[in-house]
Structure 1
């Protein structure tokens, strides 16, 4: 198969636990671009969380916020926001359970609690600035994703509460809340359709639970060696870990670099 485009998750894929990009990964992405293959970021992160990384790797197209906000070479291609009615239910339920929320727009993000330890811990793990404080941000702005801060033992409190929202854990203290039916795969498909590229001609790299649909959707789904065990059944190939040349090994397996 001759692949035309490659989608890369960020955390645990392009960057390691220290949020650093291994030099070998930087070199492999440069080789990929030199061969005429398009590299695209596909992440749960918002655009303002990965701008320096995109600049470092010279990548100007992305599927962000778990597929809810897609941009190709500076042009927005796809937007899917959380309905206000869904946000109202989420705010009410989280308030009832004393769980803090962070609301993510496409340009800025705000929390409904000030200096909450769960927010500080989870956001610090991304090596980005803490959110501002604005409990009403969700009422006045387009919200693409929300961080719900609770531990796994409390997830059951949200069972059967929402039929239109999807919760996926990404940190011991935090879950992503997105529109039901949304995923990186949905965002990727919007870009592939615009570029007239078949999913079978695409490659994707990932390591987390929010990468399942993405790896399954493309022609070659590659899981990192440091992946969550539950992701592995969705992968066509398991490469080395991020710090052991996993990106280069995967791109070689795909026949995209030497």
Structure 2
């Protein structure tokens, strides 16, 4: 069976590390013949550093589906130049702060204490201006008003709100984690997640697990605490045949 895992708030709770008990459960899952796939809002650039070594070259979905990596080969989806101009005009009009992810580098104008900024792999990527990036895969806007969200919803984009971070994630229309999995030819899976960007996983999974009390839990088969993650992975490993 394929097991798909979100990272932040699902396996990683400090933005930097995954607890050794969870790593051991993932290794046991993989050793038992199950495929372990990671699907995160983080671009591949920021996803790889937090993963255990044996999974860095595996199947990865980053940027909520904007990036796909397998055997260290990364492919990406981009906003069209016309759409990017519309987005840039909105940013300028409302003086919004943002994080824009290019193929590897990024453009950031927000507060450097924000958790999203803290998770950027600064050692391997550079902070450019938005116009210097040219190709942009994903855009995070900080503190957008409802009026701005309404204006953005009229454009051909997918919008994911992050209430706890007072931000929205914008990607090309139709791009999400399930899209990324389909590009990796993953259609049957068990999913672990915790936030609104995992709703699509929960809706498509044979069985789904929500970590924590986010509103997205209503779409999951099971709700657990972060302390229960490792044992739940092992439990589902042992029961996985019923979901095949």
**TM-score higher than 0.5:** yes
Aligned counterparts of 1:101 and 1:163: Cα–Cα separation in 2: 18
Q: 1:72 aligns to what? A: 70
Aligned counterparts of 1:122 and 1:53: Cα–Cα separation in 2: 14
Q: TM-score, normalised by structure 2?
A: 0.85
Q: Which structure 2 residues correspond to residues 215-254 of structure 1 after superposition, within 5 A?
A: 215-224=202-211, 226-228=212-214, 230-238=215-223, 240-242=224-226, 244-254=227-237
Instruction: Describe the superposition over 1:68-107 as per-residue Cα deviations: whole angstroms up to 9, x where unpaired.
Output: 111222344x532111111111111111111022220231
Instruction: Describe the superposition over 1:206-257 as per-residue Cα deviations: whole angstroms up to 9, x where unpaired.
Output: 0000000011112122211x141x211211222x322x03143144135268
Q: Secondary structure at the match of 1:143?
A: coil
Distance change >3 Å, CA 251–CA 156, structure 1 → 2 = farther
Aligned counterparts of 2:34 and 2:236: Cα–Cα separation in 1: 15
The count of residues paired between Structure 1 and Structure 2 equals: 235
| Pick aligned residue for 1:144 from 137, 150, 156 | 137
State whether residues 107 and 127 of structure 2, in contact with CA within 8 Å, keep that contact through their aligned partners in structure 1.
Answer: yes
Q: Which runs of 5 or more structure 2 residues have no equivalent in the other structure?
A: none
Aligned counterparts of 2:130 and 2:209: Cα–Cα separation in 1: 39
Instruction: Describe the superposition over 1:32-73 as per-residue Cα deviations: whole angstroms up to 9, x where unpaired.
Output: 111111111100101111222224453422011101111222
Q: Which runs of 5 or more structure 1 residues have no equivalent in the other structure?
A: none
Residues 1:177 and 2:170 aligned together: yes
State whether residues 63 and 187 of structure 1, in contact with CA within 8 Å, keep that contact through their aligned partners in structure 2.
Answer: yes
Q: 2:148 aligns to what? A: 157
Q: Which structure 2 residues correspond to residues 121-140 of structure 1 after superposition, within 5 A?
A: 121-126=114-119, 128-129=121-122, 132-138=127-133, 140=134
Q: TM-score, normalised by structure 1?
A: 0.81
Aligned counterparts of 2:147 and 2:139: Cα–Cα separation in 1: 18
Instruction: Describe the superposition over 1:170-208 as per-residue Cα deviations: whole angstroms up to 9, x where unpaired.
Output: 35342211112211011112212xxxx5x3x31111000
Q: 1:211 aligns to what? A: 198
Aligned counterparts of 2:103 and 2:79: Cα–Cα separation in 1: 12
Distance change >3 Å, CA 137–CA 255, structure 1 → 2 = farther
State whether residues 206 and 227 of structure 1, in contact with CA within 8 Å, keep that contact through their aligned partners in structure 2.
Answer: no
Distance change >3 Å, CA 235–CA 12, structure 1 → 2 = same
Residues 1:32 and 2:29 aligned together: yes
State the superposition RMSD in angstroms. 2.4
Aligned counterparts of 1:237 and 1:34: Cα–Cα separation in 2: 24
Q: Secondary structure at the match of 1:87?
A: helix
Q: Secondary structure at the match of 1:16?
A: coil
